[in-house]
């Protein structure tokens, strides 16, 4: 787990490190220099409630993931596997998905767009 602690008022490359922190299940905390001891105590008080956590999301073949790392996706790109390591009660897992372009939907076997009423997914 990679956690980032920054000091308020300083320039930290949070944007560049955010994907690494997200993939490892870490957190970003910004502390005020005047409240350093209290802020660190709060950060360290968050206990891991599970270790070696892995989440999987399976999309319908008519849907696609957005902005995900290729190695986190199955060969057919319908399953996203995210490994978190340790998680706390405040850990969060998000992902983006949407419908595939019509040109791709029309060539999928066993998919009749005239009868589709919903696209299920599993987590």
Cβ neighbours of 93 (radius 10 Å): 14
Beta bridge partners of 28: 4
How many residues would you count in the chain? 123
3-state DSSP call for residue 2? coil
- Name the residue range of residue 91's domain: 48-123
Say if residue 58 is in the same domain as residue 38: no
Express each pLDDT in 14-35 by its tens digit. Answer: 667 777 777 777 777 777 777 7
Say if residue 24 is in the same domain as residue 7: yes
Say if residue 10 is in the same domain as residue 58: no
- pTM, two decimal places: 0.60
How high does pLDDT run on average in the chain? 81
Confidence of residue 44 (pLDDT cuts 50, 70, 90): low
94 contact partners, CB below 8 Å, separation of at least 6: none
Say if residue 55 is in the same domain as residue 8: no
Q: Into how many domains does the chain fold?
A: 2
Beta bridge partners of 80: 57, 73
85 contact partners, CB below 8 Å, separation of at least 6: 1, 24, 25, 51, 52, 53
């Amino acid at each position: 787990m990679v956690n980032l602690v920054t000091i308020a008022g300083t320039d930290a490359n949070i944007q560049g490190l955010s994907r690494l922190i997200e993939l490892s299940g870490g957190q970003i905390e910004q502390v005020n220099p005047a409240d350093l001891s209290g802020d660190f105590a709060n950060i360290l008080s968050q206990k891991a409630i599970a270790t070696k956590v892995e989440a999987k999301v399976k999309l319908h073949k008519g849907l696609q993931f957005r902005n995900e790392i290729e190695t986190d996706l199955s060969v057919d790109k319908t399953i996203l596997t995210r490994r978190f390591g340790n998680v706390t009660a405040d850990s969060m897992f998000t992902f983006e998905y949407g419908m595939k372009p019509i040109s791709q939907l029309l060539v999928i076997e066993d998919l009749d767009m005239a009868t589709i009423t919903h696209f299920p997914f599993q987590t």
